[in-house]
Amino acid sequence: MSSAIPELPAAASPADILRIGIDAAGGPVSLACSFSLEDVAIIDIAHAAGINLGLFALDTGRLNEETYEVADALVERYRLKIDWYFPAHAEVEQLERTEGLFSFRESLDKRHACCHIRKVKPLSRALKELRGWVTGMRREQSITRNDLKALEHDELNGGILKINPLLDWSEEQLISYSDEQRLPKNHLYSQGYRSIGCAPCTRAVEPGEDARAGRWWWENPEHKECGLHRR
C-alpha cells in the first residue's frame, strides 16, 4: 500500500526532504548509491543532520575501478555499511553466451535487456523490504527528469515512496558542496565524465553537451534511462 505524500515547506532543504520523506515512508528507507557526486553529497548531508539512512549499491559486474575506490573511501570516512546486490550469474552467463559482450550497443531493446538483468532485477530485490528509497536524481540532468518531484510514488516498484532530495540542485551547487566538504570523488570526473555508470556505457562528455550525454551516447536523449527510474 502506498504511503501518503506530505506537503513540503517552501524552499525545503535536502535534509528537510530526507526527514519528511523518511517519516512519511513509515519504515526502512535506503539510498540507492552509485557513488556519484549526488549520492556522496546525500550521504554527507544525512550524516551531518543525524539522519539514519540505509545504503545499498548495485554491482553490475561492469563498474569502473574508480567507482569501487569511492565506495571504499565512504566506508572509511563514515563507517557505514553498504548492502551490495548483484545480478543472477546464470542470467549474465546466458546473456553473454547468446548475445555477446556488447549486445547492448546493437539496439535499444538489447540495451534494456542488459540493464534489466544487471540493474532492474537486483534493484527489485533491494527494494523488497523497504518502504522508501532515496535517489540522487536532479531535474537538470536530462529531459527524462524534467518533471521530477521531491517525493513521489514509484508505481513500477509497488508504490514505494521515492525520495529525491537534490532534485533542484544545479551541477554548480553540487560541485561547490563537494569541494567545500572535501568529499570523496570519482577520479573519472577530472577526466571529463559528468555521469558515471557501467564502464562500457559511459564516456567523457564534450564541451556544451549535457551531463548525461556520455551515458549510452549512441542513443537519443529521450531514451537515456536504464529502467531504474522509468516514469
Q: Please say if 226 is a catalytic residue.
A: yes
Q: How far apart are CA 93 and CA 223, in angstroms?
A: 26
- Reported as a single tens digit per residue, the pLDDT across 150-160 is 999 998 889 99
- DSSP structural state of residue 219: S
Which residue from 62, 213, 32, 8 is spatially nearest to 137, judged by alpha carbons?
32
Residue 172 lies in a domain: yes
pLDDT tens-place string over residues 79-104: 999 999 999 999 999 999 999 999 99
Identify whether 228 is part of a domain.
no
For residue 226, the model assigns a pLDDT of: 55
**Overall domain count for the chain:** 1
Whether residue 36 lies inside any domain: the answer is yes
pLDDT at residue number 224? 55
Q: What is the pLDDT of residues 186-224, one digit of tens each?
A: 999 999 999 899 999 999 998 888 888 898 888 887 655
Q: Choose among 187, 190, 222, 217: nearest CA to 202.
A: 217
What does pLDDT average to over the chain?
A: 92
Q: How far is CA 49 from the centre of its chain?
A: 21
pLDDT digits (tens, 9 = 90+) for 48-57: 999 999 999 9
Contact 10, 155 (CB under 8 A): no
- Residue 39 domain flag: yes
pLDDT given for residue 212 in this prediction: 81
Parent domain of 192: 14-219
**Is residue 230 predicted with pLDDT exceeding 70?**
no
Decide if 124 is inside a domain.
Answer: yes
Grid cell 565512504 is found at 74
Task: Give the residue ranges of DSSP H helices in the chain.
Answer: 14-25, 37-49, 65-78, 89-99, 108-115, 121-127, 171-181
The answer as to whether 4 is a domain residue is: no
Q: The domain spanning residue 214 has which CATH number?
A: 3.40.50.620
Residue 227 lies in a domain: no
Report the pLDDT averaged over residues 162-181.
Answer: 96
**Residue 115 domain flag:** yes
